[in-house]
Chains A and B, each alone.
Chain A
Amino acid sequence: MRIPCPLCGSRDIREFDYMGHAQALDRPEPEAGAQAWDDYVHNRDNPAGPTRDLWFHGLGCGAWLVVDRDTVSHEITAAALARDVKGGAA
């Protein structure tokens, strides 16, 4: 498997760590309540098909990536810097 890092180009999967669904980007407000926090920290869908998850290019540039991926075909359709997706890019 290879991931197209927006900074480094296509790289072998061994350079990356997997974190899970990109909903980890959407941290609730401190007072959002138990259910919101439980969903954020623990609850995840397990889709057969398109999904969007977070990968860390730890053995490469150190960037966190948001990767669009199909869990059935394994096709990767897009990869973006998490900081850009989050909208706080410098």
Chain B
Amino acid sequence: MRLDKPGQIDRSQALRFTFDGREYGGFQGDTLASALIANDVRVVGRSFKYHRPRGVFSAGSEEPNALVTIGQGAASEPNLRATTTELCEGLVAQSQNRWPSLEYDLLALNDLFAPFLGAGFYYKTFMWPAKFWERLYEPMIRRAAGLGALSGAPNADHYEKAYAHCDVLVIGAGPAGLMAALAAGRAGLDVILADEDVRTGGRLNAETVEVDGRPGADWAQAVTDDLYAMGNVRIMTRTTVTGAYDGGTYGALERLSPDVAARTGAPRECFWRIAARRTILAAGALERPVAFQNNDRPGVMMAGALRAYVNRWAVSPGKTVTVFGNNDDAHRTAADLLAAGVHVAALIDARPEASTDLPVRFYAGAQVTNAHGRGGLEAISIATLSGIDKVQTDCLAMSGGWNPTLHLTCHMNGRPDWSPALAAFVPRDGAVPGLVAAGACRGDFSTHACLSGGLEAARAVIRELGKRARKIDLPQAEDAPYRISPLWAVPGKGRAWLDFQNDVTVKDVKLAATENYSSVEHMKRYTTQGMAPDQGKNSNVNALAVLADATGRGIPETGTTTYRPPFVPVPIAAMGAGAQGAGFAPQRFTTSHQVSVDMGAPMIEAGLWYRPSYFPREGEKTWRQSCDREVGMVRRAVGVCDVSTLGKIDVQGPDAPAFLDFLYTNMFSSLKVGRTRYGLMLREDGHVMDDGTTARLGEHHFLMTTTTAAAGQVMKHMEFVHQCLVPQMDVSFISVTEQWAQFAVAGPKSREVLNGILDDPIDDDGFPFMACGPVSVMGVAGRLFRISFSGEHAYEVAVPARYGESLFRLLVQRAEELDGGAYGMEALNVLRIEKGFITHSEIHGRTTAFDIGMERMVSAKKDCIGKAMAARPGLSGPEREQLVGLVPTGAVKKLTAGAHLFDAGAAPVRENDQGYITSVGFSPTLGHFLGLGFLKDGRARHGEEIRMVDHVRQIETTCQVVDPVFFDPEGGRARG
């Protein structure tokens, strides 16, 4: 119900929302949880395993019960905490884990079977027979257990990732964080103040404490206004710092306010990576429940949360409230309730020595032993010295004490220390380099201690960063001592919940201990305690205390489980933001891309590049028809192909020849200026890395090419060789891949095409095979290389990229006039297979120069990368699989890449494997399929029959082993 007091809601802005299809009202400033409470909605979800009805439990991101699905259809998001979901006009929320409805859930039957569903149940029950697991047990369990479900449709919502940098990151904007930010900001440091709430103030918004004589929330607002005015303090509300990482890097998830997120192009959430020189953790503390029978009934909630609902949102979850605790906060809760005009039926303090002046029915040294009321709390049983009292109540606020929110201090393998005085773990100094904890997360619980702790932490950081702290007066505030007597679980029968989200009870933890899962990490996995989306924020310390008790060890000896990021769930969509669709990876387009697309060419991806597969012409129905035509065109007339994607590296300097000699297996120092040479490059382990042609443009100037796929890898390798192995060499290199648009012009009529565009025509004498040099292309300074990847008389002509599209158009047009035209990757591949030229299909990382028949290219005159290791035994010889050609000779005429080779009579099993096929293509020139592959001792086996078996596609072909050069083995066509 809504209380008749102001709170921090704006009653002038009424909002409508629906929950499970029913319409309700709330106000600006409400959370979904506070609005549901205002509307007396008590049951908000069903529990994970037993499907028990559950109500709102907390008022923050630690909420275990009130998980809902927000939105509809593709954009719906499951498992959102109602306690941190801002209410907005038209919000659509659904409860989860119930069928057919929240009130009547068939799987609530699980609750009746609870005695059988304890810890380790699945492990014990479904062990046998093994095959039933996948088919029967797992689907069954998955349907019965679980929280919300994804829609299954692609989510069109926008997510974002971003980077931020600061001198000081302050995590948490409660009294400690505000003071820290104020001091650091005044000292002139760049500050980021992050808080997961929609407003700054932290607990000051939830309590009735005063700071400097005014309401805490007002003080917080005034400080916040100061911070905004500074300019060097960036306040990030709605932002949860989720993880601490090496080098002062923090992850943070920002939820945008609903009105901003609704705008076009706006993200719903943003995942920040924040680099901070220093960090002040002022994350506060989390209140912990007390375990007693049926403590999960709707209406049982945390005392601090109840104060937040009453004070901040002016709602009360009950008309007749009881309060149970083991510390002074229980009294504070009762006082706030009374001040707000809510009836307090009883105040129960577990401490025998406790007393109160409050006008309430008071029990000292008593404990709540049971909560009654199936659909929601109706009464509680209280064990007193004189017996059991039953008190009618519809809401019980409980406080088992406070746990400092020290999670981030443990993200880099740190462990917290146990404080007997606080009955809680406190962070260990220095656990995260550059991070200091201040305020409640350090165990300083009074408002005064938080304010002064924040200020002190900031002063230390200011000094470390070499700045001068300005004088700041510490505001006046209460400094009440924290008095607590530990109480983890009330003894008694029945199930008492520890982990509400994963349905883990005291019994389960005791059972784990009995069955010798006595290490806290084993207990966690056996019972699943702390493994739900809330990661045990409410239950970890309680569970290990129960475990410590059950095993007869102390809490410090029992220790904690490992705290890991993220502190709150982070959607994968936010972490990978921007990397869907066109943002997945850069798309690299050649200068001829648009022309090729306009010609109808389908594009295939080659690394990041897009290249045309083929250029279909009228009447061609299949890619093969186009490909066959294009191959024939090149062999008979002339073809044009964009080869700009090959890596081009400009190598200069007096030591350039020596450097290339070291990089490649063969010699480049002996190459004449104006000539081009094929080169082979090894990795240091002796296997082939890449190949390509290198042109000598000047005495100390080379232009080397790499394959399209390996361009980046080769560049990195060259930088390594130069900087790490031979830095004394005077050589420099830079990629010019993007500078030049380069086109292959291949075929008998290639020179005819070129002489139409070159300002000075070329002939065979002036420009023989493997020549290179500068040319003038219609007035533009270009380069020409007489090299061939097709085996035909061919050239590659390059112009600065700005002219690429224009030159491609002209070349294609001229080629078409000569009965030729553009050709794509398919034809390029067939042409090179016909010639036995290798690509990365053959030099796939496991082949040596010997394997591909190029061992003679490893020069004996000099050292080179990979030479020593290539000489190892086992990297050459008849046992090696060697490059061969294969042609079908039997009834089946098809070859497939990836198929394996077997001797004619041998069974096609792994033990008999003789090799495999790497490349295949149908050769229109020769009229049948061709294959390149690797065969054991293959070079000695030319002429042999061999069986190709494709186990995947169920194809068997009888082949003959032949030389890998199928067409024009003498190479006369390229020279002619």
Q: Do chains A and B touch in the complex (CB under 8 A)?
A: yes
Our pick among A25, A62, A76 for the contact of B725 (Cβ within 8 Å) is: A25
**CB-contacts of B701-753 with A (<8 A):** 716, 719-720, 722-730
Our pick among B249, B726, B869 for the contact of A1 (Cβ within 8 Å) is: B249
Across the interface, do B719 and A41 meet the contact criterion of CB distance under 8 Å? no
**CB-contacts of A1-56 with B (<8 A):** 1-3, 10, 12-13, 17, 19, 24-25, 27-28, 30, 32, 34, 37, 40-42, 54, 56
Q: What are the residues of chain A within 8 A of B412 when measuring CB–CB?
A: 74
In the complex, what's the smallest C-beta–C-beta distance from A41 to chain B, in angstroms? Answer: 5
Across the interface, do B869 and A89 meet the contact criterion of CB distance under 8 Å? no
Across the interface, do A1 and B245 meet the contact criterion of CB distance under 8 Å? yes
Our pick among B249, B725, B730 for the contact of A2 (Cβ within 8 Å) is: B249
In the complex, what's the smallest C-beta–C-beta distance from B720 to chain A, in angstroms? Answer: 6
Given A12-B273, A41-B684, A82–B723 Cβ distance below 8 Å? Answer: yes
Across the interface, do B716 and A17 meet the contact criterion of CB distance under 8 Å? yes
**CB-contacts of B259-307 with A (<8 A):** 273, 275
**Which label, helix, strand, loop or mixed, suits the secondary structure of the A interface?**
mixed
Interface flag for B433 (CB, 8 Å) = yes
Assembly CA distance A44 to B491 (angstroms): 57
Assembly CA distance A24 to B730 (angstroms): 21
Assembly CA distance A1 to B872 (angstroms): 39
Among B247, B412, B863, which residue has the most Cβ atoms of chain A within 10 A? B247
Across the interface, do B247 and A1 meet the contact criterion of CB distance under 8 Å? yes
Interface flag for B248 (CB, 8 Å) = yes
Assembly CA distance A62 to B245 (angstroms): 25
* Closest residue of B by beta carbon distance from A36: B868
In the complex, what's the smallest C-beta–C-beta distance from B172 to chain A, in angstroms? Answer: 24
Across the interface, do B724 and A54 meet the contact criterion of CB distance under 8 Å? yes
In the complex, what's the smallest C-beta–C-beta distance from A35 to chain B, in angstroms? Answer: 12
Across the interface, do A86 and B727 meet the contact criterion of CB distance under 8 Å? yes
Across the interface, do A30 and B868 meet the contact criterion of CB distance under 8 Å? yes
Across the interface, do B724 and A24 meet the contact criterion of CB distance under 8 Å? yes
Interface flag for B867 (CB, 8 Å) = yes
Q: What are the residues of chain B within 8 A of A19 when measuring CB–CB?
A: 720
Assembly CA distance A31 to B99 (angstroms): 75
Interface flag for B353 (CB, 8 Å) = no
Interface flag for A60 (CB, 8 Å) = no
Our pick among A27, A32, A62, A74 for the contact of B246 (Cβ within 8 Å) is: A74
Interface flag for B685 (CB, 8 Å) = yes
Our pick among B246, B275, B723, B869 for the contact of A86 (Cβ within 8 Å) is: B723
Across the interface, do A63 and B723 meet the contact criterion of CB distance under 8 Å? yes
Assembly CA distance A89 to B729 (angstroms): 10
Task: Give the interface residue-count category, chain A.
Answer: 35 or more
Across the interface, do A81 and B723 meet the contact criterion of CB distance under 8 Å? yes
In the complex, what's the smallest C-beta–C-beta distance from A17 to chain B, in angstroms? Answer: 7
Q: C-beta contact mask, B869-910 vs A, less than 8 Å → 1, else 0?
A: 100100000000000000000000000000000000000000
In the complex, what's the smallest C-beta–C-beta distance from A55 to chain B, in angstroms? Answer: 11
In the complex, what's the smallest C-beta–C-beta distance from B89 to chain A, in angstroms? Answer: 40
Q: What are the residues of chain A within 8 A of B724 when measuring CB–CB?
A: 24-25, 54, 64, 82-83, 86
Q: What are the residues of chain B within 8 A of A81 when measuring CB–CB?
A: 723
Assembly CA distance A69 to B357 (angstroms): 61
* Closest residue of A by beta carbon distance from B273: A12
Assembly CA distance A30 to B727 (angstroms): 18
Q: What are the residues of chain B within 8 A of A89 when measuring CB–CB?
A: 727
Assembly CA distance A5 to B729 (angstroms): 23
Among A3, A19, A64, which residue has the most Cβ atoms of chain B within 10 A? A64
Assembly CA distance A17 to B777 (angstroms): 41
Q: What are the residues of chain B within 8 A of A54 when measuring CB–CB?
A: 724
Q: What are the residues of chain A within 8 A of B246 when measuring CB–CB?
A: 1-2, 13, 74
Across the interface, do B872 and A56 meet the contact criterion of CB distance under 8 Å? no
Given A12-B275, A34-B872, A37-B868, A64–B720 Cβ distance below 8 Å? Answer: yes
Assembly CA distance A17 to B719 (angstroms): 13
Assembly CA distance A37 to B686 (angstroms): 11
Q: C-beta contact mask, A77-90 vs B, less than 8 Å → 1, else 0?
A: 00001110011111
In the complex, what's the smallest C-beta–C-beta distance from A76 to chain B, in angstroms? Answer: 7
In the complex, what's the smallest C-beta–C-beta distance from B244 to chain A, in angstroms? Answer: 12
Assembly CA distance A36 to B401 (angstroms): 63
In the complex, what's the smallest C-beta–C-beta distance from B142 to chain A, in angstroms? Answer: 36
Assembly CA distance A42 to B683 (angstroms): 13
Q: What are the residues of chain B within 8 A of A83 when measuring CB–CB?
A: 722-724, 727
* Closest residue of B by beta carbon distance from A34: B872
Q: What are the residues of chain A within 8 A of B163 when measuring CB–CB?
A: 12
In the complex, what's the smallest C-beta–C-beta distance from B664 to chain A, in angstroms? Answer: 16
* Closest residue of B by beta carbon distance from A14: B273
In the complex, what's the smallest C-beta–C-beta distance from A30 to chain B, in angstroms? Answer: 5
* Closest residue of B by beta carbon distance from A54: B724
Assembly CA distance A67 to B247 (angstroms): 14
Assembly CA distance A62 to B724 (angstroms): 12
Our pick among A1, A62, A88 for the contact of B719 (Cβ within 8 Å) is: A62
Across the interface, do A56 and B684 meet the contact criterion of CB distance under 8 Å? no
Q: What are the residues of chain A within 8 A of B245 when measuring CB–CB?
A: 1
Q: C-beta contact mask, B224-250 vs A, less than 8 Å → 1, else 0?
A: 000000000000000000000111110
Assembly CA distance A40 to B684 (angstroms): 10
Assembly CA distance A90 to B653 (angstroms): 13
Assembly CA distance A75 to B247 (angstroms): 8
Q: What are the residues of chain B within 8 A of A42 when measuring CB–CB?
A: 685
In the complex, what's the smallest C-beta–C-beta distance from A21 to chain B, in angstroms? Answer: 12
Our pick among A2, A13, A27 for the contact of B248 (Cβ within 8 Å) is: A2
Assembly CA distance A83 to B732 (angstroms): 13
Across the interface, do B726 and A88 meet the contact criterion of CB distance under 8 Å? yes
Given A12-B273, A56-B716, A41–B869 Cβ distance below 8 Å? Answer: yes
Across the interface, do B716 and A58 meet the contact criterion of CB distance under 8 Å? yes
Q: What are the residues of chain A within 8 A of B868 when measuring CB–CB?
A: 28, 30, 32, 37
Assembly CA distance A28 to B868 (angstroms): 10
Assembly CA distance A28 to B247 (angstroms): 35
* Closest residue of B by beta carbon distance from A76: B247
In the complex, what's the smallest C-beta–C-beta distance from A24 to chain B, in angstroms? Answer: 7
Q: What are the residues of chain A within 8 A of B433 when measuring CB–CB?
A: 75
Assembly CA distance A13 to B723 (angstroms): 21
In the complex, what's the smallest C-beta–C-beta distance from A53 to chain B, in angstroms? Answer: 12
* Closest residue of B by beta carbon distance from A19: B720
In the complex, what's the smallest C-beta–C-beta distance from A66 to chain B, in angstroms? Answer: 9
Across the interface, do B723 and A37 meet the contact criterion of CB distance under 8 Å? no
* Closest residue of B by beta carbon distance from A88: B727
In the complex, what's the smallest C-beta–C-beta distance from B247 to chain A, in angstroms? Answer: 4
Q: What are the residues of chain B within 8 A of A75 when measuring CB–CB?
A: 433
Q: C-beta contact mask, B180-208 vs A, less than 8 Å → 1, else 0?
A: 00000000000000000000000000000
* Closest residue of A by beta carbon distance from B734: A62
Assembly CA distance A82 to B433 (angstroms): 27
Assembly CA distance A25 to B720 (angstroms): 9
Assembly CA distance A81 to B722 (angstroms): 12
Assembly CA distance A74 to B868 (angstroms): 35
Q: Identify the A interface with B (CB < 8 A).
A: 1-3, 10, 12-13, 17, 19, 24-25, 27-28, 30, 32, 34, 37, 40-42, 54, 56, 58, 62-64, 74-76, 81-83, 86-90
Q: Identify the B interface with A (CB < 8 A).
A: 163, 245-249, 273, 275, 412, 433, 684-685, 716, 719-720, 722-730, 863, 867-869, 872
9 CB < 8 A contacts A-B: A2-B246, A3-B247, A24-B720, A32-B868, A63-B723, A64-B720, A74-B247, A88-B726, A88-B729
Q: Which 9 A-B pairs have the closest CB atoms?
A: A88-B727, A2-B247, A88-B728, A1-B246, A83-B727, A64-B723, A83-B723, A74-B246, A30-B863
* Contacts beyond the supplied A24-B720, A64-B720: 18 A-B pairs with Cβ under 8 Å: A1-B246, A2-B246, A2-B275, A13-B247, A24-B724, A25-B724, A25-B725, A30-B867, A30-B868, A41-B869, A56-B719, A75-B433, A81-B723, A83-B722, A83-B724, A86-B723, A86-B724, A88-B726
